[in-house]
Amino acid sequence: MNIGILTAGGDSPGLNAAIRGIGKAAIRSHDMSVVGFRDGFRGLMQNRHIRLDSDDLSGILTAGGTILGTSRDKPSRMNVGGREMDMTGIMIETYEAHHLDALVCLGGGGTQKNALHLAQAGMRIVTLPKTIDNDVAGTDITIGFDTAMDIATEAIDRLHSTAHSHHRIIVVEVMGHNAGWLALGAGLAGGADVILIPEVPYHMDAIAESILARQAAGSRFSIVAVSEGAITADHAADRDRLKEIRKTGDDEGERATAKQGLQDLKIETADATHSLAAQLEERTRLEARVTILGHVQRGGTPSPLDRLLATRLGTAAADFVAAGRHGIMVANSGDEAVAVPLEEVAGQRRTVPLDHPWVATARSLGVSLGD
């Protein structure tokens, strides 16, 4: 049997551990040949590949990034020579040329959709969920999330001392455009006083009042952990209204206007964290400083939990391929690796439920969520 592997989307700690898990299990337990495609779906389209043997897979367990490289290219809409083209057919030719019994795609939400597209085109596809945002549907946790949360938590820990020394508000922006798992988890673990996530649109007055109440009680500093996708309640209302018009508007002009409005809103909220800090400084008369963690959360050695998760899901992927299973994502459910149909994953997003225990814990501690 022959198995292919590619990594797509943003890089994430634990990708190499997953590649190692898939490859070693495929070779040692199932006597498969393993080929890796470079730089995601573009490498599959261009047939840029390497043969992976046990030596290639040795020593990569603790390495960050991905030895295969990655990209955000989409099979059905790929930029080729300055034109956007559907390269699905070319990818199928590459797949067949290597006589693959399955292609394993490691990625987040976008990769799951692209993988389903290839599965529907006739490829035997298995996927693994990876993203530091932890927002892939159908799995308890994604590869990379634990490491990113560790990094964000350590940053918040370090910022406490400067916040306390200078009596400042420190606003820490962590990744998470559409889901607040990272800010919520790191904020709780790091003892943040305010946690703002996309699922709970915030009110500036509520945050300022919370900080002023801390000040009145003798705490002359505050830590605000904010997801990059967190927005005000007013902006959220505008977004929801425009989305509804775009979806159900009576005429094409009205829908086009709504689409442009959404693009304008995206631009307006792009620097929301700095705006938040400025407004808090104005309302509380406390000095505010912003720290944006950015891509540092993606880098470095994966945590032991991410290595273990990636290895478990990777070996399970090889087992599923050997058993003839495909059209699935290998998900984590409790202590087990389970097969979830791609149709149930693609196009879905796992956001923070408002009744989640982490949310309840934050409220019990008196942490402001801005609502």
Positions marked catalytic: 133
Q: Where are the alpha helices (DSSP H) in the chain?
A: 15-30, 40-46, 54-57, 88-97, 109-120, 145-166, 181-190, 204-216, 233-248, 252-268, 272-284, 304-322, 357-364
> Among 130, 140, 137, 224, which residue's Cα sits nearest to residue 183?
224
- Judged by DSSP in three states, 249 sits in coil
Spatial CB neighbours of 189, under 8 Å, sequence gap ≥ 6: 149, 153, 156
DSSP string of 151-209, one letter each residue: HHHHHHHHHHHHHHHHT-EEEEEE--SS--HHHHHHHHHHT-SEEE-TTS-B-HHHHHH
Q: How would you class 50 by CB atoms within 10 Å of its CB: exposed for 0-12, middle for 13-18, buried for 19 or more?
A: middle
Q: How would you class 132 by CB atoms within 10 Å of its CB: exposed for 0-12, middle for 13-18, buried for 19 or more?
A: buried
